[in-house]
Amino acid sequence: MSPENGKTGCAGAAGNCAVCQGCAAVSGCAPEDDRVLFTKEMRRDYTILLPSMLPIHFHFLSEIFNANGYHMVLLENGTHGDAKKVIDVGLKYVHNDTCYPAMLMIGQFIDALNSGEYDVHKTAVLISQTGGGCRASNYLPLLRKALKKAGYGYVPVVSLNFAGLEKNPGFRFTMPMIHATIYAMLYGDLLLTLRDQCRPYETVPGATQALVDKWIRLIMEDIEGNGIRYGKVKRNYRLILEDFAALPRTQDKKPLVGIVGEIFVKFSPLGNNALEAFLNAEGAETTMGGLCDFLLYVISNMQMDRKIYGTGRFRAFVAGRIARFFIRRQDDMIRAIREHGVFRAPARFEDTCRAAADYIGYGTKMGEGWLLPAEMAELLHSGVENIVVVQPFGCLPNHIIGKGMMKPMKEKNPGANIVAIDYDAGASKINQENRLKLMLANARASQGCADQNARC
């Protein structure tokens, strides 16, 4: 059996027949679970496709892997006004009740494989996973089933996770790569923060994105060359801040809108119908917690398991060491923004974590878990009363911790202006935008009253 024929199983006892043994050696066939492994041999000449969940951060992630002997490509199909094509492909191979982010990623992968741009017999796909108790943990079998249905059953599916969900002999995430990824995610959060604070006020349309693209290119050159060195990271913080501070901007005062929710829909323009661009076009400034907070949330849950359930002592110890290292690095980035003095710095993770205590228990960790109400509470504490809660339609964890927490949030914060928006292949974009416009109308009315009181 070869990977070209799309068959990865064996009619005989797993691994005992000559055909099965041969295919396992050549194609990475894993007959015991009908899974095509990504082998060491594939690492040399296979292209790995990465979905566009985080347009800034995943550029850096792909370059880190490329600098370590892989060939990874960040997909952009569906992100330039052609989302409908990706959605239609996803609906063709995934049930319409499936998690919307899963349908989008699968649609993006299969659309890319159909494009003719890649040698499909030397292409793999990669998805990141946390292993939580929601539909996201079914992405791997769902993706494999869709690939097989589309005629690409021989394409290896690689899972990037720290929960031990799956392993592939040709794919390793080493400690130096983890260090580089932490620094890259901090870079990504800094650029995200500065972009959101500059884009609504730029006097030259597109100037902010051009500056973001410039620094993505420069940072990727650092990764490709000598790798990421933390001394240079801290020097670059100052250079990046000075570059964005020099960007010509108006002095308008616009309503500030916080965005929280399920990670894919929160960060990906493909998943949220370009939510940030729409809010900017409607005269608002957006703000959101960065990816570092989500990663720290996942890591801290390992410590919470030990504290609440008494499990995983060694795992909790390792998680604690990683968390302390990560938090110190995040504090350095936040300190650089505060000392520069031009832009608002994001909240420290520990402050965001404490903000959840009045609303939800730390054992709530399905989906975005306690982090989602924690981010809502932190926004409200910092004076951001306008909040959009985004989630895939039918996402039970996020409906409970997103929509379900809106009432207690409003009871404790009477000025809170919160709207929940569901995203799905069948959701009405007009309905979504009308609800957002209503939220913005309330925000402007509230801001007008505040300005009038200030003048009085």
Tell me which of 223-227, 305-309, 381-385, 416-420 is least confident: 223-227
Between strands 35-36 and 29-30, the pairing is antiparallel
User: Which of these, 420, 346, 415, 417, lies nearest to 390 by C-alpha position?
Assistant: 420
Determine the average pLDDT of the residues in 332-351. 96
Percentage, residues of the chain above pLDDT 70? 88
pLDDT in tens, 62-100: 999 999 999 999 999 888 777 899 999 999 998 888 889
pLDDT score of 164: 60
Q: Can you say how many angstroms the Cα of residue 98 is from the centroid of all Cα atoms in its chain?
A: 19
Tell me which of 48-52, 131-135, 384-388, 396-400 is least confident: 131-135
Which is higher by pLDDT, 154 or 96? 154
Residue 18 pLDDT > 60, yes or no? no
Determine the average pLDDT of the residues in 434-455. 78
pTM of the model: 0.88
Which is higher by pLDDT, 294 or 162? 294
Confidence of residue 283 (pLDDT cuts 50, 70, 90): very high
Where do the domains of the chain lie? 1-36, 40-169, 254-289+347-456
Tell me which of 117-126, 138-147, 328-337, 442-451 is least confident: 442-451
Confidence of residue 456 (pLDDT cuts 50, 70, 90): very low
Residue 8 pLDDT > 60, yes or no? no
Residue 133 pLDDT > 80, yes or no? no
For residues 90 and 148, give the distance between their C-alpha atoms in angstroms, rounded to a whole number: 14
Q: Which pairs from 56-60 meet CB under 8 Å and 24+ separation?
A: 56/188, 56/191, 56/192, 56/195, 56/212, 56/216, 57/184, 57/185, 57/188, 57/189, 57/192, 57/291, 59/216, 59/220, 60/181, 60/184, 60/185, 60/187, 60/188, 60/216, 60/219, 60/220, 60/223
Dihedral, CA atoms, 231, 235, 236, 239, nearest 10 degrees? 180
Confidence of residue 6 (pLDDT cuts 50, 70, 90): very low
- In this structure, the number of other CB atoms found within 10 A of the CB of residue 108 comes to 28
Residue 419 pLDDT > 80, yes or no? yes
For residues 286 and 276, give the distance between their C-alpha atoms in angstroms, rounded to a whole number: 7
- In this structure, the number of other CB atoms found within 10 A of the CB of residue 246 comes to 10
For residues 185 and 190, give the distance between their C-alpha atoms in angstroms, rounded to a whole number: 9
pLDDT in tens, 284-305: 999 999 999 999 999 999 898 8
For residues 391 and 21, give the distance between their C-alpha atoms in angstroms, rounded to a whole number: 45
**Same CATH fold assignment for domains 40-169 and 254-289+347-456:** yes
Residue 60 DSSP code: H
pLDDT score of 312: 81
For residues 263 and 101, give the distance between their C-alpha atoms in angstroms, rounded to a whole number: 9
Confidence of residue 135 (pLDDT cuts 50, 70, 90): low
Determine the average pLDDT of the residues in 237-243. 97
pLDDT score of 25: 35
With contact defined as beta carbons under 8 Å apart, do 146 and 190 qualify?
no
Percentage, residues of the chain above pLDDT 90? 65
Q: Which pairs from 310-317 meet CB under 8 Å and 24+ separation?
A: none
Q: What is the mean pLDDT of the chain?
A: 87
For residues 264 and 247, give the distance between their C-alpha atoms in angstroms, rounded to a whole number: 29
Tell me which of 103-107, 325-329, 393-397, 408-412 is least confident: 393-397
CATH class of this structure's domain 254-289+347-456: alpha beta
> Domain spanning 40-169 has what CATH number?
3.40.50
Confidence of residue 352 (pLDDT cuts 50, 70, 90): very high
For residues 279 and 288, give the distance between their C-alpha atoms in angstroms, rounded to a whole number: 13
* E-state strands within 3-95: 29-30, 35-36, 47-50, 71-74
Q: Write down the number of H helices and E strands in the chain.
A: 18, 10
For residues 187 and 418, give the distance between their C-alpha atoms in angstroms, rounded to a whole number: 29
Helix axes 83-93, 100-114, angle to 10 degrees: 100
pLDDT score of 220: 92
